[in-house]
Amino acid sequence: MSERVKICIYGPGAVGGFVGVLLAKAGAEVSVVARGAALQAIRQNGLRLRRQDGEIAVSVSATDDPATLGPQDYVVLAVKAPALPAIVPKLAPLLGPETAVVTAMNGMLWWFFDGGGPRGSGPLRSVDPGGAIARALPRSRVIGCVVHSTSSQPEPGVIRHGVGDELIIGEATGGVSARVRNLGRWLDRGGFHSKLSADIQQDAWVKLWGNMNFNPISLLTGATADRIIDDPDVYALCISTMREFAAIGQAIGYSLPMTPEARIAMARKLGAFKTSMLQDVEAGRPVELDALLAAVHEIGARVGVPTPFIGAMLGLARLRAAQSGLYEPLAAMAGAAT
């Protein structure tokens, strides 16, 4: 393992802050890009992580200007997908020739369905209209990261960890490289359980299977996961959307490891948790409908898999979020560019 590593966390929120604290504790040279109250809190009190066994506070370089940090070994993108188009142009000062961009983000991202081949047919307009993100951050620079952990941000600069500490990482182009192995060692040193994946798209697809229905249903209902599962009609809707998702996966070459019923049973064990989308709604933040649901709907249309339940859920969630001022599709923001 490299004895010195520079890692910038772009977005030290619930996920990014969790990763940043443990990497700093492991001895990595960690910096964060934040703004507003979060930036002020981190500068004054450090980045803090609350767990059942106590609180960890680490001192990190914190700025709202990436140009002050210089090139990094790894840049961890831990932002919400709707923020990405505005953030990408600001990353340039952090990117040296060998810098890897690690996407610790929810949903289907720009690199997921790019590159052609049997699994893809070009960029998804719902998550990267016009291809601007892919041009700025080509797949060769990206390490995908699938987070299996729950955490929240009760106040600026403070992260509360719930359950889980597994991070799955792998090259967006496929395979496990030296830089992926090095990052995995640092994560393990920090206390995570890292898993190195030769097919990170497969792992991201499995994670998305759960997120693509619980999140929008929580937006529509304001309910925690246990109440969603316990309502028999809402449960039936989840099963229907998950079966449509599985059919899309079969059409593009991604498998799922269990039945929809078994996957929901896993979620039930987590109890009355709030999805990330419900947390965003309650905080008045833009929601990630494009990456979590619109992209799935777009792929279904491409490969000719009917998705009436996914389409209905998307339409209802999109309308509800737009009425609350929490959603504008990326394609609309980019105009007619394709």
Residue count of the chain, please give it. Answer: 338
Question: pLDDT digits over 271-298, tens only?
Answer: 888 898 998 999 899 999 999 999 999 9
Query: In the predicted model, is pLDDT for residue 120 greater than 60?
Result: no
Helix or strand (DSSP H, E) at 8: strand 6-10
Q: 3.40.50.720, 2.40.50.140, 3.90.1280.10, 3.40.50.12160: which CATH number matches 6-198?
A: 3.40.50.720
Query: In the predicted model, is pLDDT for residue 122 greater than 80?
Result: no
The CATH class of 204-333 is: mainly alpha
Sheet with 54-58, strands from edge to edge, namely: 54-58, 47-51, 158-161, 151-155
Could you list the beta-strand ranges (E) of 59-174: 61-63, 72-77, 95-104, 142-148, 151-155, 158-161, 166-171
Of the pLDDT bands very low, low, confident and very high (cuts 50, 70, 90), residue 117 is very low
Q: What confidence score (pLDDT) does residue 269 get?
A: 85
- Both tokens of residue 317? 């969630």
> Which residue in the list 25, 195, 207, 269 is annotated as catalytic?
207
In the chain, CATH 3.40.50.720 covers: 6-198
In the chain, CATH 1.10.1040.10 covers: 204-333
Using an 8 Å Cβ cutoff, are 138 and 132 in contact?
no
Q: What confidence score (pLDDT) does residue 150 get?
A: 84
How far is 196 from 168, CA to CA, in rounded Å? 6
pTM of structure: 0.92
Q: What confidence score (pLDDT) does residue 125 get?
A: 87
Q: Report the number of secondary-structure helices (H) and strands (E) in the chain.
A: 14, 12
Query: In the predicted model, is pLDDT for residue 129 greater than 90?
Result: no
Q: What confidence score (pLDDT) does residue 235 get?
A: 97
Q: Mean pLDDT score of the chain, rounded to an integer?
A: 92
| DSSP secondary structure letters along 283-313 | HTPPP-HIIIIIHHHHHHHHHT---HHHHHH
- Taking each helix axis as running N to C, give the angle between helix 200-221 and helix 276-283, from 0 to 180 degrees, rounded to the nearest 10: 50
Using an 8 Å Cβ cutoff, are 169 and 194 in contact?
yes
Of the pLDDT bands very low, low, confident and very high (cuts 50, 70, 90), residue 338 is very low
Handedness of CA 12, 151, 274, 232 (dihedral sign): positive
Residues ≥6 apart with Cβ < 8 Å to 186: 1, 5, 7, 23, 26, 28
Question: pLDDT digits over 187-208, tens only?
Answer: 999 999 999 999 999 999 999 9
Give the DSSP letter of residue 236: H
Based on the residue annotation, tell me whether 6 is a catalytic residue of this protein. no
